[in-house]
Amino acid sequence: MIINCKKIANEIISETKPKVDELHKNGIVPCIAIVMAGNDYASKIYIHNKSKACQKAGIRTREIIFRENISEYELMKSIEKLNNDKSVTGILVQLPLPKHMDEKKVCEIISPAKDVDVFNPINFGNFIIGNTDLTPCTAYGIMKVLKYEQIKISEKHCVVVGRSNIVGKPISHLLLKSDATVTVCHSKTHNLENFCKNADVIVSATGVPKLIKKNMVKNGAVVIDVGINRDENGKLCGDVDFENVEPLCSYITPVPKGIGLVTVAALVHNAMKTACFNLFKNK
């Protein structure tokens, strides 16, 4: 079964909207600032989609697009200004940033209370020890997909391919928290095929087009494809050789219109959450 991620994304947004309405009633107007530097076409599409999704839930957005050659200092100064701006309840820095900038350093300056992407190390640490309401967006979206489809995770063997701070690590953590046995693979893993072949659930987030082939997937497995890549013809594709793997799966997510949609919806959820922090501040 090909999972309908659009439906699940809409459901996340519908669940979020009444909570945003409640904030409005309490005099809090959720507003996220989306900061970008440069002219990257894909990034512009992403920020447009993120704005649209937030607006659907009643969250305002402010797109701030700087020129490619803005200095790291200037960009960080503008983020600091947003940190102190009471009308901004969340901040998102669209990656990638221009090459002359240190992305880690820039993202770390976002106030933890406004960090809708959960990039700040304080928030990431709190996420790992279960001490925050904020969950990294893609991991949140994947867990929603598994829950919506009533896919049992407890006692299952989940193989996560990729160990980035943005996707691989957070989703491994949430699967483990849901009582799965989790194997994390990466570029130095020998015999990736053997690990994947034994998986009840595969989550792939590598950025390698069509890495997961049919000989690596057991019959009836669940396959979650996070990758957003271009194939040899420039066509959008995931990490999974979809055409050949799909017939083997009990569930699979497509690319495009897959995990990307629920990731954006998760961002809307987090934008509502950071706005809620203001609710407690005012009391």
E strand residue ranges, the chain: 31-37, 60-66, 90-93, 157-161, 181-185, 201-204, 222-225, 229-230, 236-237, 251-252
Catalytic residue among 77, 81, 102, 117: 117
DSSP 100: T
List the one residue from 43, 123, 138, 274 that touches ligand NDP (CB under 6 A).
Answer: 138
Of the pair 1, 236, the CB lying nearest ligand NDP is at 236
- Can residue 190 be called a binding residue for ligand NDP (CB under 6 A)? no
Query: Residue 55's closest CA among 104, 106, 20, 6?
Result: 20
Residue 94 annotated as catalytic = yes
Among residue numbers 160 through 179, which ones bind ligand NDP (CB under 6 A)? Answer: 161-164, 166-168
**Binding range to ligand NDP, per CB under 6 A, among 11-19, 31-39, 101-109, 199-207:** 199-207
Buried b / exposed e along 246-277 (16+ C-beta atoms within 10 A): bebbebbbbbeebbbbbbbbbbbbbbbbbbbb
Residue 50 annotated as catalytic = yes
Query: Distance of CA 81 to CAs 47, 63, 88, Å?
Result: 20, 15, 10
Of the pair 164, 181, the CB lying nearest ligand NDP is at 164
Query: Residue 35's closest CA among 91, 102, 108?
Result: 91
Residue 17 annotated as catalytic = no
Other beta carbons within 10 angstroms of residue 152's beta carbon come to 13
Q: Which of helix, strand or coil describes residue 91?
A: strand
- Can residue 260 be called a binding residue for ligand NDP (CB under 6 A)? yes
- Can residue 226 be called a binding residue for ligand NDP (CB under 6 A)? yes
- Can residue 228 be called a binding residue for ligand NDP (CB under 6 A)? yes
List the one residue from 207, 214, 250, 251 that touches ligand NDP (CB under 6 A).
Answer: 207
List the one residue from 120, 206, 274, 278 that touches ligand NDP (CB under 6 A).
Answer: 206
Strands 181-185 and 201-204: what pairing? unpaired
- Can residue 211 be called a binding residue for ligand NDP (CB under 6 A)? yes
- Can residue 92 be called a binding residue for ligand NDP (CB under 6 A)? no
Of the pair 167, 249, the CB lying nearest ligand NDP is at 167
List the one residue from 29, 176, 208, 279 that touches ligand NDP (CB under 6 A).
Answer: 208
Q: Which of helix, strand or coil describes residue 190?
A: coil
Of the pair 142, 221, the CB lying nearest ligand NDP is at 142
- Can residue 215 be called a binding residue for ligand NDP (CB under 6 A)? no
Find the radius of gyration of the CA atoms of the chain: 19
Phi and psi torsions of 91, nearest 5°: -135, 135
Query: Residue 164's closest CA among 175, 172, 156?
Result: 172
- Can residue 184 be called a binding residue for ligand NDP (CB under 6 A)? no
Query: Residue 259's closest CA among 213, 202, 188?
Result: 202
**Binding range to ligand NDP, per CB under 6 A, among 7-15, 72-80, 113-121, 222-230:** 222-230
The residues carrying an active-site annotation are: 50, 94, 117
Binding site for ligand NDP (CB under 6 A): 138, 161-164, 166-168, 185-189, 192, 205-208, 211, 226-229, 259-260, 263
